[in-house]
Amino acid sequence: MGRILLGVSSSIAIYKACELVRELRKREHEVRVVLSPFSEKFISRLTFEALSGNKTFVDWEDDPLLHINLPRWSDLFIIAPCSINTLSKVALGIGDNLLTTCALSHRGTLMLAPAGNPEMYKNPAIQENLRRLRERGVLIVEPEEGKLLCEEEGQGRLASTERLLDWVEYSLRPKPLMGKRVLITVGATREFIDRVRFISNLSSGLMGFSLARVFRWYGADVRVVAGFTTSQEPPNIEIIRVVSTQEMREKVIGLKDWADLVVMNSAVADYRPAKTYSGKLKKEKRLTLELIKNPDILEELGKEKGNKILVGFALEEEEKLLSGAEKKLKEKNLDAVVANPLQSMGSNFYRGRLIFKDGQHFEIEEDDKLKAAERVASFLIEKLFKYPQKYR
């Protein structure tokens, strides 16, 4: 995985840097930490050494070329939290400590995650420095809105660990899909019987949200149309919420001309009640419901596909996994289909098979759906967008 140089400047948000190091290590990244001199008054270097498993640096000590060697070692240099003072030094080319001189000598991707008082952050001088940094290609992970330790509210809180991790993964990957637009449907639709009861399924939305993350990491502009989900929404992605299959159809048809690739991952309800009752139905010994068929969104997209790439998912019983998926691939005019056994719904573990219309099959078996989503996306990029495997 990646080699991450994490710069930490003085801020009360420094405790989040500890969590960030731990999560980066969980994702198998190698992490080295360089501290600004004053940041040690918040947390000692020993804490970061224990979390990272590597020596933490504050000054040059025995290596006079440390400000050159550390940046050259790294694939990504991220400063989080980045104080307003450190941000301004980097923008103005001031190197008065090991952290800022590392930033000046770094030639790869530099990412800053500012944290500070809202009034300081929106100061015109600081906004001008941010503009300069962006023009030089520095990635700025904007601080979040909320109440700060100073009891003021506004934009100044360090970005969440989830957002920082997502930007790290984005920064480490090549961008073969830059300029491409991907539309993904996610989650379960609900068809209401009355005001409180509905027909639905066990889909959590985890696989669809994971695919959305991965396609963004590889450079695509991603939009998600989501039904009901229980999984955490991916950051930095536009999510359009719907309830019923008919609502999902309306949004997808409205966006299909925008997209280069449509991935229909959602578990839509095939049927809906012919009548929806107002209020709450009283309990009876027997209730008979008349169901009518919902529109087949995937079939409709297949008929009007044109030059678009269309990928579907097929949830099948084990003994019908391949035959059912291959039938769907042909009948719906798909470019590829992902065949899932029933056990994959609602589970984090993933096992399935990716089938292309030229007959090629690829096994996908991973201990979590984010890893599975990256494998699926990699094969789709290579096969359908004609990018060779070497981009990975």
Q: Are 233 and 217 contacting, i.e. CB atoms less than 8 angstroms apart? A: no
How far apart are alpha carbons 101 and 126 in whole angstroms?
20
How far apart are alpha carbons 199 and 203 in whole angstroms?
12
How far apart are alpha carbons 8 and 159 in whole angstroms?
14
Q: Any residues with CB less than 8 A from the CB of 127 and at least 6 apart, and which? A: none
Of the candidates 18, 82, 102, 150, the residue annotated as catalytic is: 150
Which residues sit opposite 327 in a β-bridge?
Answer: none
Q: Any residues with CB less than 8 A from the CB of 354 and at least 6 apart, and which? A: 336, 337, 338, 339, 361, 362, 364, 376, 379, 380
Which residues sit opposite 89 in a β-bridge?
Answer: none
Taking each helix axis from N to C end, the angle separating 161-172 and 206-217, rounded to the nearest 10 degrees, works out to: 50
Q: Are 269 and 201 contacting, i.e. CB atoms less than 8 angstroms apart? A: yes
In the chain, the largest separation of any two C-alpha atoms, in whole Å, equals 84
Judge whether 102 counts as a catalytic residue: no
What stretches of 28-83 show up as alpha helix (H) in DSSP? Answer: 45-52, 66-73
Helix (H, G, I), strand (E, B) or coil at 338: strand
Report, as residue numbers or ranges, the catalytic residues. Answer: 150
